[in-house]
Structure 1
């Protein structure tokens, strides 16, 4: 049994020892012992964000960009429930996120005490581990080490630490010795099985094959050379979405595939004999229609985690690192195959025209070298692929495609910006902006260039492309589906103390020079 303040000190020291460097704190009373310990810890960078939902997405954004576990801490009661959306995104995007909820002690549970709910198993199956810590817990440090290790490996994702704390809460820790924290060693990348490499190399004897890549963590950038080698060895076209990290800066990546595959004649003409899917299935509706049309074609899915096969038609799954598998298969093939006329035909796609595409291209081309593009969900991530060439930038592309929600995009992008030193560009729709408008409060404290480009097309126009648009009256579509937010962006920027300007070449250049956020308004029509 140890004093509560000493437990808090051990808890925080264990976080740092396990590799956590950033803690996002939302204010509250019950979490006071942990906050005091964190402020006394020289190995943690702490920042305060009032709204727990925004705080969790901010931490998630940092973790997605850095690849390291990031922690968020809140008080008891409903506070932790606001972490839920970010926890789910972290779970499905394989992002290490450490969620810490302060809790009331056992004697205050189930008796009507204020700000007290049952927080045990708060996030259910959406966390890799759920750990309970008591006020006088001798094993607090070991429990923290175990939880953070579970956030990293074997399948990265969120973990939950629920810490019961008892009054008085304001006592600072003694100089008690923190027990040694066990170090966890885990292989971050899985090598492909030898039999899978041989089978894949044999399958690549097919003449008409295509390599496709959907959204992936930023770390997949390291696979670019290996995937390019695989494309050269097979002669296959590389159809890589921007968020795969395998489009921009990769010479063999093709442009304009959404436009190309939107035509039924092209889908028929480009019948494949083999599909190699690297990671998640692409966002593109045109690709989904193409893959559905040729569902009987052998398709190998290579992904380190999960089974990304929503159509359930894959021939085989290889649970291994994409880069290592691509390199191994290219080596096994052992030669370079010239592209066929069929493969060359994949380059016939054109980049999308129109105001939205022009705005996206302009913003992406203005991003300085080593910058990061944050692709908002719904139409912005689709416009990014349809409008931009692989040679427009060499940027990494950050996204929240785990469950592809529109929530938390400003907060998440702000976290991504805070996790690095290079400029960050967020492309976000007007509805997504309104949904996370409070994220501007988190963004205003970022000290690296962050251009928040709102692509204003008068509501959620993705619904114009869905069957519901033909099934309901235009007024009903607008009121219940596209829901134009009618937000005065300039006024919103003023309210949060964020500079604002209409988007053009000059305002983009200024935004990428400024150390902090800038809200840029791009009116792109309905």
Structure 2
């Protein structure tokens, strides 16, 4: 087998293999050549080459998101590393284990005007779980410019000291790499390994020269403080109005037995977001559709005593406003890593897995007679009826397009959503419960949706569909510069010629600079991008054409497909705002 000659590169690669990091996304460069040589010549690793580092990091994040295991990205020195930052921030807030491995120049070449050099150690300081700043290997060449070598009195002294330093540096690097990767597993988030390499960079050997120590990953046991559990049980049994709100969650993570118990307790309402991937006929999806028309009295009448949350960040602004205005007496959050005080009323962080907590709580609690869920159920039924009535009588717009699109997505496939208006439109519909739904809600940025979706599609045998707004798609169009896109991958772009969501938000829309600086008007399409990157291109601008195209869109083909749906930018906001008035 071929290995890089540099011991530090060998160490990084061997420890990644020992920890089970199989997927490695490499962006071409020279300084990272030792890493590229090692990863790409080892059959254990599945390597991907993606030029644009920002796209590469989101692509890797899509793989990690789908497999729920750390995925590595490898880049050269300099600004290449900074292009990882959007994905690093998203992974940090979405609890996705992204392993960033950057090559660096030797310390003595930083800050002296050498090319492709920046201050790389701790560059992600505010959005990283751990930064391992490794040390440069020492060479045996006595003319080497060392990092900070001591002055030697004689040759024997020098050789002995160099040997000790080399061993010390190797031990330090092994410890730091182990620690960083272990944290990525334990806390499910991004870590950064910065590895300085000196030239020559391309030398290879056929035998390893180092055998790094592998420090096992320690997982925290699932336990709950007995007094905390007893307090929860006492409060749960006393409360007649309990609300559970589920944020971003991987599919099939909550045991059905607990969902059934919660669904059949009249004192409990369970609100689920589209990205929660949790379903039950007694639960309450489409949160905004249900609560948006409520007035102050309605909010007050439905104020919960206890709000219990688990999962990631919440999309719905309306549920946040409701619970911030009508604060519950108790807010508990269940998670193994962190708890966000989203409603400014958090008083219990239950640091464990939701399944484990429910197994302890529901074994010692009882269903309570209450009119809480029945009252919410009446509202839900009314909203669904009005929703259907309104959709049957509107012109073709974004809202109408989403109705047709969501009906057409094949069962048991994956749906990736762009941010901004896309995920919010989808939240208004009762999603097909066989779909697995994902969205980058950590930072909720429009960057990286396409790259993440492609990474997801590569990591699974299930068909993946991405629904994206036009600005989000164009922003991440380099994500298509990718030789790994499966033929089954599908993209639907809702093109309303600008940032249509800004017409929905409060504010003045008829000012001179609104179209330029807020909505960002454009006349661009995806057609030329599809031609350049080898995607089959379809287009539509009315309901009948859309439904017809959707039938052929999901038929098998020799290449990925993109469907661009043109909607009227000056009508979308009016139809959506009138929707909320109508269902009231």
Residues of 2 paired with 1:318 and 1:114: CA distance? 49
Give unmatched runs, 5+ long, in structure 1: none
* Corresponding residue of 1:458: 497
- Which of 514, 531, 534 aligns to 1:497? It is 534
* Corresponding residue of 2:270: 238
Change (3 A) 1:476 1:77: same
- Which of 170, 176, 181 aligns to 1:148? It is 181
* Corresponding residue of 2:422: 380
* Corresponding residue of 1:439: 479
Residues of 2 paired with 1:20 and 1:365: CA distance? 37
Larger deviation: 173-182 or 332-341? 332-341
Larger deviation: 101-110 or 202-211? 202-211
Contact 1:423-1:449 within 8 A present in 2 as well:
yes
* Corresponding residue of 1:29: 30
How big is the shift at 1:142?
4.4
Q: How does 1:483-494 map to 2 (within 5 A)?
A: 483-494=520-531
Residues of 1 paired with 2:403 and 2:558: CA distance? 23
How big is the shift at 1:411?
0.7
Aligned residues: 516
Change (3 A) 1:157 1:343: same
Give unmatched runs, 5+ long, in structure 2: 138-168, 541-545, 570-584
- Which of 518, 543, 562 aligns to 1:519? It is 562
Q: Secondary structure at the residue paired with 2:481?
A: helix
How big is the shift at 1:35?
0.4
Contact 1:198-1:332 within 8 A present in 2 as well:
no
How big is the shift at 1:337?
6.3
Residues of 1 paired with 2:57 and 2:193: CA distance? 14
Larger deviation: 4-13 or 161-170? 4-13
* Corresponding residue of 2:582: none
Q: How does 1:36-51 map to 2 (within 5 A)?
A: 36-51=37-52
Q: Secondary structure at the residue paired with 2:427?
A: helix
- Which of 486, 494, 517 aligns to 1:480? It is 517
Q: Does 1:397 align with 2:397?
A: no
* Corresponding residue of 1:302: 334
How big is the shift at 1:338?
8.0
- Which of 215, 228, 250 aligns to 2:280? It is 250
Q: Does 1:203 align with 2:235?
A: yes
Q: How does 1:212-291 map to 2 (within 5 A)?
A: 212-216=245-249, 218=250, 221-223=253-255, 225-233=257-265, 235-246=267-278, 249-265=279-295, 266-280=298-312, 282-291=314-323
Q: Does 1:418 align with 2:458?
A: yes
Q: Deviations over 1:123-154 (max 9, x none)?
A: 1131111112344252444433221111121x
Q: Does 1:16 align with 2:17?
A: yes
- Which of 345, 348, 352 aligns to 1:320? It is 352
RMSD over aligned Cα atoms: 2.6
How big is the shift at 1:505?
4.4
How big is the shift at 1:439?
1.1
Residues of 1 paired with 2:285 and 2:359: CA distance? 23
Normalising by structure 1, what TM-score? 0.90
Residues of 1 paired with 2:252 and 2:444: CA distance? 19
Q: Secondary structure at the residue paired with 1:23?
A: strand
Change (3 A) 1:286 1:107: closer
How big is the shift at 1:290?
1.6
Q: Secondary structure at the residue paired with 2:356?
A: helix
Change (3 A) 1:315 1:131: closer
Change (3 A) 1:293 1:488: same
